[in-house]
Amino acid sequence: MEEKFLRVVQKPQKILRDNSLEIFNKM
């Protein structure tokens, strides 16, 4: 249960980080 929750929490963070890097690279 906790493991699944952690995975769900980490996924958006990874997406956010990827998006931030993409935006940063475009600047």
Given this model, what pLDDT does residue 1 score? 67
3-state secondary structure 4-20: HHHHHHHHHHHHHHHHH
pLDDT digits (tens, 9 = 90+) for 1-27: 688 877 777 788 888 889 998 988 987
Helix (H, G, I), strand (E, B) or coil at 24: helix
Distance (Å, rounded) from C-alpha 14 to C-alpha 7? 10
Total domains in the fold of the chain: 1
Given this model, what pLDDT does residue 3 score? 84
Can you list the pairs that 22-26 forms with residues at least 24 positions away whose Cβ atoms lie under 8 Å? Answer: none
Distance (Å, rounded) from C-alpha 6 to C-alpha 15? 14
Given this model, what pLDDT does residue 22 score? 92
Parent domain of 27: 1-27
pTM across the whole model: 0.45
**Both tokens assigned to 21:** 């890097």
